[in-house]
Structure 1
Amino acid sequence: MGDAARRLSALAERALGAPLPVRIRAWDGSECGPPGTPLLVVRRRRALRRLLWKPGELGLARAWVAGDLDVEGDLYEALELLAGHLWERGEDTGRPAGGALLAALRDPTLRATGTALLRLARPWPPPPPPREEARPAGGPLHTVRRDKQAISHHYDVGNAFYEHVLGPSMVYSCAYWAPDSTLERAQEAKLDLVCRKLALTPGQRLLDVGCGWGSMPLHAAREHGVSVVGVTLSEEQAVYARKRVAEAGLTDRVEIRVQDYREVHDGPFDAVSSIGMAEHVGSARYAEYARELHALLRPGGRLLNHQIARRPLKDEAHYRVDPFIDRYVFPDGELAPVGRTVTQLEEAGFEVRDVESLREHYALTLRRWVANLEAHWDEAVRLTSAGRARVWRLYMAACALSFERNRIGVNQVLAVRTPPSGASGLPLRTRDWR
């Protein structure tokens, strides 16, 4: 047995100024590090080449997706122990460029002295990036064409894969939990919470922006008697949603379109729901998004905007999109603080009437999705690829911890296109929808 693990641990300790908090197993079978901790497995020497070639989260992500790096043991515990060393967020700067260990790889002084790592890595160029990495077309961000490509990368990976991860509800946003809920009941409770906040009544028209696999349109039409237009940019989602609508006998009340929200011109609607879609809009287009939805509502109509938020930064110019998320999960996606979202909705003409945080609910939801994926791992790999399944497992587990630690949040913002008379139509006790 070789000594690669010992040499890697020694270099990590030199970079961190403290021992690495997990045990390492290297490609030569050697192990080193504190017993009883999760095992960081460096399966192939090329993992080091990826990190040296792209020091930071991108090199780390490529090694993980390719299977060059892995974790044995509790993934959540490993992520907690390694977070500050590998991808510390930097709440004051917003820079997702990596923690102490990855920053050390950029340090020319340390690299010059780290001859052991260089010999271990044999730093010729690494293999090409994993095929799961997104490469959106050039040009300006968030054009209709580029947004469709980004959405396709994330969602058009096979509906059967998402069935295994999301479960029968096929809802890809945080559920609304009670102590004894199942995932399916909690997702139904979330959909009904949205409908009640929108005060849907029979005969009204609802626009569901980013309708996914059709769960919100189906629930609103079946349980509240409304007519629904659901729009998505994903061809696969639309096919699946239309099939569900037909099976439910609701084709007279639910229409599913492959359409960008900017291309909807048959308003006005009585209500608009946007659940987990606004993260794709981008800061450069958010004001347009808010204006478009405002224009699509009748006076007195309501918007329910359900959106993930990040913590505000001391200097917003420092905000950078997470490289792993951008390349492998949500290309071109961006998060904004909830205060900015509220401000932009107000600037578009909305009256914001209620903001509710569901942060802990998303952590619970993500842990259930991870458990679903792990329980159906072999089938998920068969349906997509090992790399794609690894992306989703790491992404969802890391996000669960981020919600639990208040690094990110999720909020439902209820806003009204209040008419000149000032009659919002809301009850005096706003949260009577509970």
Structure 2
Amino acid sequence: MRDAARQLQSVAEELWGTGLPLRLRAWDGSEAGPPGGPVLVVRNRRALRRLLFKPGELGLARAWVAGDLEVEGDLYAALTLLSGLIWERGEDTGGSRSLGAALREPGVRAAVRRLVALARPLLPPAPPAEERRRPGLLHRHTRRSDRQAIGHHYDVGNDFYALVLGPSMVYSCAYWGGPEDTLEAAQRDKLELVCRKLGLRPGMRLLDVGCGWGSMAIHAAREHGVRVVGVTLSAEQAAFARKRVADAGLTDRVEIRVQDYRDVADGPFDAISSIGMAEHVGAARYLEYARTLHGLLAPGGRLLNHQIARPPQHDEDAYQVDAFIDAYVFPGGELAPVGTTTGLLEEAGFEVRDLESLREHYALTLRGWVANLEREWRRARALTTPGRARVWRLYMAASALAFESGQLGVNQVLAVRAADGGGSGLPLRTRDWR
């Protein structure tokens, strides 16, 4: 008799404290739960063992990455329905408790025993190969640990990123006029927005911190006539960016380095762009980051800091890390409220002059990347590993929902290093930028 799905439904509802929100299919082919909509597929008993040995988000992530869990149908709808079961970071989940919290409660021992019986043989599965293996070290944000973290995330393969990001090769929030825009046009408009905020003019010198595959450097040099130094810790990114610079005929104006921003010693620069890089800096190093960039700017120079933010939480001193993101996506990444970021920039000597939230823009961007990935799914799996492709699909889809719901934000902060006498060099009507 095939009834694993019914047994799982019963256990899940007792643990979760409410009805199962989507249909469930088990390894024996049985199904249970409400019809219609997406289906959560539990492919084998190993998925249950992963949850028992690592209750919560990390166990679920391991089961997803290994292919033990799958979603048939709309992934966004499934993640929305399962949000209370998955997330453990204090979001509003409608009063339901996460699976990790439920498994640790003393009043559900009978349900846990039934889950153990379903999961047998009870042996701890090895984590998927895509999981990073050096916990703790990457949170120190030394030069060595930051290189390791960047390598884990960005040295996945340039062809894979080209498939996901599209021709722009920009891995940060685009700037949309509307949902009808193309991803390529929205990324071009974002680069132009940054250049306008920085007031770039021919002959100026720009430092692009975390230059990625060179898109900002190329745009600034080609469209605004500036000289650019771009720095990245990823050797694969740098090689790709240098080829793009050469193909664009800009080698006399753009230099791409594999270099830590803390080791840049040839300032001053007239402007600095930091787009989607500061999330890697770490809370303990953020003031150092801000002071370093302040020291590299000429008096009157501008910094454009484009960075993901999280809402303030009750215990701002607590170390905040997302288990799935830390293990599989951005090792050592830390998010801070935008107020914390602007305060540290000011402490470093900057004058913060403008802040623009692009939260909804990032949701549209992520949905565009997911669409690219799903459209070329078989090729994406071949370009990296099946597990890595699954990591990227899950994290981008979940992140899109987080930006849409306000659980995450992203902001462009324009700051200046005041000139002698306190002049900012900005127009009286700031949004004219120049």
The aligned counterpart of 1:168 is 167
Q: Is the 8 A contact 1:137 1:146 kept in 2?
A: no
1:14 aligns with 2:14: yes
The aligned counterpart of 2:104 is 106
Distance apart, 1:12 and its partner CA: 1.0
1:314 aligns with 2:284: no
Using the alignment, how far apart are the partners of 1:291 and 1:110 within structure 2?
51
Q: Is the 8 A contact 1:136 1:149 kept in 2?
A: no
Distance apart, 1:336 and its partner CA: 0.3
Q: After the TM superposition, which segments of 4 or more aligned residues of structure 1 sit over 6 Å from their partners?
A: none
Residue-pair matches, total: 430
Q: Secondary structure at the match of 1:257?
A: strand
The aligned counterpart of 2:419 is 419
Aligned AA for 2:99? L
1:134 aligns with 2:106: no
The aligned counterpart of 1:115 is 113
Using the alignment, how far apart are the partners of 2:66 and 2:146 within structure 1?
26
Distance apart, 1:317 and its partner CA: 3.0
Aligned AA for 2:104? R
Q: Is the 8 A contact 2:22 2:78 kept in 1?
A: yes
Aligned AA for 2:105? D
Distance apart, 1:2 and its partner CA: 1.2
Distance apart, 1:319 and its partner CA: 4.7
1:377 aligns with 2:377: yes
Using the alignment, how far apart are the partners of 1:107 and 1:277 within structure 2?
39
Distance apart, 1:86 and its partner CA: 2.0
Using the alignment, how far apart are the partners of 1:21 and 1:155 within structure 2?
36
Residues 14 and 113 from structure 1, CA distance in 2 versus in 1: closer, same or farther, beyond 3 angstroms? closer
Q: Is the 8 A contact 2:66 2:387 kept in 1?
A: yes
Using the alignment, how far apart are the partners of 1:113 and 1:225 within structure 2?
66
Using the alignment, how far apart are the partners of 1:269 and 1:20 within structure 2?
57
Please give the per-residue CA displacement for 1:113-158, whole angstroms capped at 9, x wherever unaligned.
5322111011523321001001247646100010000000000011
Distance apart, 1:419 and its partner CA: 2.1
Please give the per-residue CA displacement for 1:152-203, whole angstroms capped at 9, x wherever unaligned.
0000011000010000000000100012421001000000000000000000
Sequence identity percentage: 73
Using the alignment, how far apart are the partners of 2:22 and 2:293 within structure 1?
49
Q: Is the 8 A contact 1:279 1:333 kept in 2?
A: yes
Structure 1 unpaired stretches of 5+: none
Structure 2 unpaired stretches of 5+: none
Q: Secondary structure at the match of 1:273?
A: strand
Using the alignment, how far apart are the partners of 2:55 and 2:109 within structure 1?
11
Distance apart, 1:14 and its partner CA: 1.1
Q: Is the 8 A contact 1:136 1:150 kept in 2?
A: no
The aligned counterpart of 2:26 is 26
Aligned AA for 2:169? M
TM-score (norm 2): 0.96
Distance apart, 1:107 and its partner CA: 2.3
Distance apart, 1:99 and its partner CA: 3.7
Residues 398 and 113 from structure 1, CA distance in 2 versus in 1: closer, same or farther, beyond 3 angstroms? closer
Q: Is the 8 A contact 1:370 1:396 kept in 2?
A: yes
Aligned AA for 1:157? V
Q: Is the 8 A contact 1:136 1:146 kept in 2?
A: no
Aligned AA for 2:145? R
